[in-house]
Structure 1
Amino acid sequence: MKVLHTSDWHVGKVLKGQSRYDEHKRVLAQLVEIARDEQPDLVLVAGDLYDTAAPTPDATRLVTRALTALRRTGAQVVAIGGNHDNGPALDALRPWAEAAGITLRGSVRDTAADHVVDGSTAAGERWRVAALPFLSQRYAVRAVEMYELTAAEATQTYADHMGRLLARLTEGFDEPDRVHLVTAHLTVVGASTGGGEREAHTVLGYAVPATVFPTSAHYVALGHLHRAQQVLGPCPVRYSGSPLAVDFGEEENTPSVTVVEVTAGTAAKVREVPITAATPLRTVRGTLAELAELTDQDAWLRVYVREAPRAGLREEVQELLPRALEVRIDPDLVPTVSGTRTAQRAGRSPMELFGEYLDSRGQGDDGVRDLFNELYEEVAK
């Protein structure tokens, strides 16, 4: 059978005030086109369909249409919730999903059987998926345990609970004539972050060893980390990565989806299919004169300016580079402040204190001082 593995769509993402909606629309259209070309038997969407737990109507419409379009290629579709998703809200969509022939699991339920999905390909190859949405540590580890355990013990307890949960979901993975798959949204020890994940849910407290997955699994389709990568484990374990770079920390990632070919009696063969529809992200550095010479105007830009700070500098950069979403002074030009005496506040005005701060940072521009004074006088009225 053939499986298409994707995750971390983050529909609804806004980058430095810039909506990514049109990019997501193109990316998901390309994903559906890849599914039409590859004709997978099964599509696994491993969580973080949305960027926020309260998606806009447009984001919801885009995700549901994409899932429907994937189903219409002839593939079975199994999608799970991630840490950015609202699990109960996804579960509320299950009647729609079931009517559309889509399996949707937003949050972990009490009944293990609810997370085990069976199916077969048009050619008769039987498959089983253990579908595990994101499970927060505060739900996996009871409050009384959290209070009594050290941080290290709580981390180990979370990993132990996840191991027992996956063991329960994969109890039937001993059938020799079936392809056994796992899809989950979690962090595996030893994997590399993509650069734009929410740090609170990727720290070690949420990391589990790859040994939580059974040796009988033919393939483990993971979401949560945005860099496509294979993880060393007792079976093939892989993150598909995000199909577009969601933040500047991911600009070096290669967006893609993963195609897996496997049978009950053969090992999984994995390949990446690039996703090229999104606008790339780039970090550039230089003086205004150097930035004016840039020809890469087809990317969203993070700009480090090699100029002395002054009022209006950001506007000058954005006039040169309309796609500059983030403008900063190059860190190499910012003096390191160490061991400086805390400014004496008594008897000094806010304007004086702010001026001293600017001087300490090498940013003593009169225009910036004037803007601060004007703002302070406005709010102090």
Structure 2
Amino acid sequence: MRLLHTSDWHVGRTFHGTDLLAEQASVLAHLADLVVDEAVDVVLVSGDIYDRAVPSAEAVRVATDALAALRAAGATLVITSGNHDSAARLGAFADFAAAGGLHLRTSVARLADPVLLADRHGPVAVYGIPYLEPDPARHALGAPDARGHTGVLTEAMRRIRADLADQPRGTRSVVLAHAFVTGGTPSDSERTISVGGVEQVPGSVFDGVDYVALGHLHGPQRLADHLRYAGSPLAYSFAEAVHRKSVWLVDLDDTGLADVRRHELPVPRRLATVSGALANLLTSPEHDDLADCYLSVTLTDRVRPVDAMRRLRERFPHTVHLDWQPEGGTPTVLRYAEAVRGRSDAEIAASFLADCRGAAPNRREEALLAAALTAAGKADPEQDRELR
């Protein structure tokens, strides 16, 4: 039996305010092609189908189209809910969906109820553990002494092993789980699931099964041969620009886990970072290859350029993030009381402008500040006369 392990689709997520639905639809359509090309039997999605508990209608359409394409390609689907999903919404009509080959495991009560499949070697039991919020989960599991993520996942796996022991001899096993397992490397785009400062669980919690398809961390990684994260299909932070987004192709034979292969996913739009003076960024031919990237720009001009984002987008239309770190600058951090002590309102306003822009206001700007303070009833009359 061949399985495709994927996770953390986060359909509906934006990237620095930019809609990603088209990119998400493109990558998910590639998964359906992969199912055909690699003769995949089962697609596993280990949580976070959506980016929010109440997804938009457009996000639901993209996810539904992707699931329908995977099913039409010939795969059975097994999906669990993640910490971004609403388990109740995602699991609605689960029994009806199962009749069409879509198996949703979003309920604590059903985590030891396997999806039973079979190949020429015999049965395969696929268990789905939805994301377990520790406090409500320990009550739902009837395990009041289970503490934190380790406690509730330990109880969940105890139940799964007990069910597996009742399955026919030689039954192979797969578990989907959405958790932060010790040894995994996080990125900037995961939402923390810590409780009391402790969110990691040891990999040994999952001992005793043939393959564990993990979700939650967005970088693809191998913790052990049988214990892996697929990661997200797209990069959701600039820190993930170095990730090689991928999925795992998992083969089971008559003895259990036979082989795991990595398949890299296409990148609809690259992420890139660049720094420099605005004039150089706008004219230098060395930056031509960045025109089609989602771009994070750090400006190094000594004085903050005016209208920089609009000007950058004329050359780099997909610029989504802008920072300013003046070259050779040595920013001084002052407490508010220290910054305003002994200064008039006009001096404070001029200092604020200088701090924000990196250059003191000119005479015309000083006059505008004085006029604004006069209108607000805050002017220093003597200074106001001098400026005028």
Shorter-chain TM-score: what band? 0.7 to 0.9
TM-score w.r.t. length of structure 2: 0.83
**Is the Cα contact below 8 Å between 2:350 and 2:360 reproduced in 1?**
no
Alignment partner of 1:137 is 2:131? no
Letter in 1 for 2:331: T
Q: CA RMSD in A?
A: 3.1
Q: Measure, in 2, the Cα distance between the counterparts of 1:170 and 1:88.
A: 25
Question: Is this contact kept in 1: 2:212–2:226, CA < 8 A?
Answer: yes
Give the residue type in structure 2 aligned to 1:161.
V
Amino acid at match of 1:10: H
Contact preservation (8 Å) 1:137, 1:205: no
Task: Report the Cα distance in structure 2 between the residues aligned to 1:35 and 1:111, rounded to whole angstroms.
Answer: 27
Q: Which of 275, 280, 283 is the aligned partner of 1:285?
A: 275
CA contact (8 A) 1:83 1:201 kept: no
Please say if 1:230 is aligned against 2:222: yes
Residue 117 of structure 1 pairs with residue 118 of structure 2: no
Deviation string, structure 1 residues 31-88 (Cα, Å, up to 9, x no partner):
1111111111211001111111111111111112211221222221101111111111
In structure 1, list runs of 5 or more residues that go unmatched: 143-152
Among 177, 192, 195, which residue is 2:188 paired with? 195
Of 309, 324, 331 in structure 2, the residue corresponding to residue 329 of structure 1 is 324
CA contact (8 A) 1:117 1:129 kept: yes
Distance 1:305 1:204, change over 3 A: same
Question: Which shifted more, 64-73 or 221-230?
Answer: 64-73
Answer yes or no: is the 8 Å Cα contact 2:350–2:361 preserved in 1: no
Measure how far apart 1:332 and its partner are. Answer: 5.7
Whole-angstrom CA distance in 2 between matches of 1:206 and 1:257 = 24
Partner of 2:6: 6
Q: Which whole-Å CA distance do the structure 1 matches of 2:10 and 2:361 have between them? A: 42
Query: Which residue in 2 is equivalent to 1:80?
Result: 80
1:305 corresponds to which residue? 299
Secondary structure of 1:342's match?
A: helix
Instruction: String of CA shifts for 1:164-198, please: whole Å, max 9, x gaps.
Output: 22121232334542221110111001110133212
Distance 1:141 1:352 in 2: 59
Cα distance in 1, alignment partners of residues 188 and 65 from structure 2:
28
2-side partners of 1:183 and 1:335: how far apart? 50
Deviations 1:115-170 (A, max 9, x none): x221113x35310112001112342356xxxxxxxxxx99x643122212212123
Question: CA–CA distance in 2 between the matches of 1:139 and 1:68?
Answer: 33
Q: Deviations over 1:247-269 (max 9, x none)?
A: 21211111111101122414341
Alignment of 1:213-362 (within 5 A): 213-214=206-207, 216-232=208-224, 236-292=226-282, 293=284, 294-296=287-289, 297-307=291-301, 308-330=303-325, 334-338=329-333, 342-344=338-340, 348-349=344-345, 352-360=347-355
Query: Structure 2 matches for 1:30-179, cutoff 5 A?
Result: 30-95=30-95, 97-106=97-106, 108-114=107-113, 116-121=114-119, 123=120, 125-140=122-137, 157-174=148-165, 176-179=169-172
Deviation at 1:96, TM superposition (A): 5.0
| Structure 2 Cα separation of the partners of residues 338 and 347 of structure 1 | 17
Alpha-carbon separation, structure 1, partners of 2:239 and 2:360: 31
Per-residue CA deviation, residues 96-122 of structure 1 (Å, 9 max, x unaligned), is 52243200123x3335544x221113x
Describe the shift of the 1:218–1:14 C-alpha distance in structure 2 as closer, same or farther (beyond 3 A). Answer: same
Task: Single out whichever of 247-256 and 335-344 deviates more from structure 2.
Answer: 335-344
| One-letter amino acid matched to 1:208 | V
Count of residues in Structure 1 that have an aligned counterpart in Structure 2: 359
Q: 1:314-335 CA deviation, whole Å, 9 max, x = no partner?
A: 3222223211111111376553
- Conservation of the 8 A alpha-carbon contact between 1:45 and 1:80: yes
Q: 1:226-272 deviations in whole A, cap 9, x for unaligned?
A: 0000114xx61000011111121211111111101122414341111
Structure 1 residue 95: Cα displacement = 4.8
Letter in 1 for 2:33: E
Determine helix, strand or coil for the equivalent of 2:323. strand
Gap change, CA 1:285 and 1:69, over 3 Å in 2: same
In the aligned structure 2, how far is the partner of 1:251 from the partner of 1:203?
A: 31
Structure 2, unpaired ranges of 5+: 140-144, 378-388
Q: Percent of counterpart pairs with the same letter? A: 31
1:317, 1:327 within 8 Å by CA — same for their partners in 2? Answer: no
Moved more, 26-35 or 175-184: 175-184
Query: Are residues 14 and 242 of structure 1, via their aligned partners in 2, closer, same or farther at CA, if it must alter by over 3 Å?
Result: same
Q: Contact (CA 8 Å) 1:27, 1:276: kept in 2 or not?
A: yes
Q: Distance in 2 between matches of 1:208 and 1:171?
A: 21
- Offset at residue 222 of structure 1 (A): 0.5
| One-letter amino acid of the structure 1 residue matched with residue 228 of structure 2 | R
4+ residue segments displaced more than 6 Å: none
Give the TM-score normalised by structure 1. 0.84
Would the aligned equivalents of 2:108 and 2:129 in 1 still touch at CA under 8 Å? no
